[in-house]
């Protein structure tokens, strides 16, 4: 099946992902311990406004407000029975704002549990939970499924397998440190090779320890899977708690200054992650346009 994202990548475009959903919701009052996915049904106008801000900033792709929307995450808040409802709502809100201009990626984040033998979660249980989430996001109208911020290859592959029955393309990104490894010790080159072999449309790095960590991951990935579309979505630096408020080390222009480097390492999709807002997306989109205009 040919999809909007596959078509645009095949046409040689460089695409701009949006930034953090959680950071934007926190600016609107989402508090510590609150369930962001509940806002899809309780405060949908705020979620729409976040998507609208990213669209106006120049995003080519949206992420749905479903990062912790799997039953494995929601069960900790007593909300597992609302998994389908909250993911459907997340997808429909993003689709409504996106129209036909923006590609919608259904966000599927880590479960927060360790897989067997390190923890109690079995591979089959993880795959089943991600499959339920993926099916709801697909029904809600997403164009692609985004398996993101993974650190364990087993969980990443379970999520990809869970997403594949929808027939939608899958993009997979993991969180790395500046040595190009996840917190579970997974090397970026191995992750890229194995996820590509599973049939994902693109692979890359998001979140983690800022843009230098994304740089390290992409340096390894571009050698491991030459010519394959890569994704770069770093945090806005590293978080610091100052007088009870979390601040981030890099401003929009400072983060956007990494765009030429990421593109040179094979990134075809660039954006930002934790700590970023629509201002970062605007700066990144401008950097992409400048590079394309100069080429």
Tokens 């475009």 correspond to what residue? 13
Tokens 């029904």 correspond to what residue? 139
Give the number of other CB atoms < 10 A from CB of residue 7.
11
The reported pLDDT for the residue numbered 140 is: 98
- The CB-side HSE value for 170 (13 A sphere, CA atoms) comes to 27
Mean pLDDT by 10 residues, the chain (295 residues): 83 96 95 95 98 98 98 97 98 97 97 91 97 98 98 97 98 97 97 98 96 97 98 89 72 97 98 97 97 76
For the segment 210-250, what is each residue's pLDDT rounded down to a tens digit?
999 999 999 999 999 999 999 999 999 877 766 666 777 89
Angstrom distance (rounded) from CA 63 to CA 19: 8
Angstrom distance (rounded) from CA 172 to CA 196: 9
Nearest to 204 by CA among 65, 10, 17, 54: 17
CA distance to 14, 35, 192, per residue, from 228 (Å): 13, 35, 9
166 DSSP assignment: G
- Whether 78 and 36 have beta carbons less than 8 Å apart is answered as no
The reported pLDDT for the residue numbered 1 is: 46
The reported pLDDT for the residue numbered 243 is: 63
- Whether 224 and 180 have beta carbons less than 8 Å apart is answered as no
Q: Which domains, from first to last, does the chain contain?
A: 4-294 (3.20.20.330)
The reported pLDDT for the residue numbered 189 is: 98
Angstrom distance (rounded) from CA 227 to CA 90: 33
The reported pLDDT for the residue numbered 131 is: 98
């Amino acid at each position: 099946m040919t999809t909007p994202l596959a078509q645009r990548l095949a046409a040689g475009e460089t695409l701009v992902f949006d930034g953090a959903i959680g950071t934007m919701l926190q600016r609107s009052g989402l508090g510590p311990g609150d369930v962001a996915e509940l806002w899809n049904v309780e405060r949908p106008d705020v979620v729409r406004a976040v998507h609208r801000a990213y669209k106006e900033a120049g995003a080519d792709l949206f992420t749905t407000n479903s990062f912790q929307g799997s039953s494995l995450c929601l069960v900790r808040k007593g909300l597992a029975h609302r998994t389908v409802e909250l993911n459907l709502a997340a997808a429909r809100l993003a689709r409504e704002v996106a129209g036909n201009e923006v590609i919608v990626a259904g966000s599927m984040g880590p479960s927060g549990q360790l897989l067997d033998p390190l923890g109690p979660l079995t591979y089959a249980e993880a795959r089943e939970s991600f499959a339920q989430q993926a099916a709801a996001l697909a029904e809600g109208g997403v164009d692609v499924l985004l398996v993101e911020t993974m650190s364990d290859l087993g969980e990443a592959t379970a999520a990809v397998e869970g997403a594949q029955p929808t027939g939608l393309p899958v993009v997979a990104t993991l969180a790395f440190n500046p040595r190009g490894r996840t917190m579970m010790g997974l090397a970026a080159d191995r992750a890229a090779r194995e996820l590509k072999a599973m049939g994902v449309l693109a692979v890359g790095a998001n979140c983690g320890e800022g843009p230098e960590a994304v740089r390290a991951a992409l340096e390894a990935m571009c050698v491991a899977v030459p010519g394959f579309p890569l994704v770069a979505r770093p945090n806005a630096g590293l978080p610091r708690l100052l007088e009870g408020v979390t601040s981030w080390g890099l401003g929009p222009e400072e983060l956007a200054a990494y765009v030429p480097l990421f593109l040179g390492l094979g990134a075809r999709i660039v954006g930002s992650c934790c700590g970023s807002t629509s201002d970062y997306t605007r700066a990144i989109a401008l950097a992409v346009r400048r590079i394309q205009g100069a080429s």
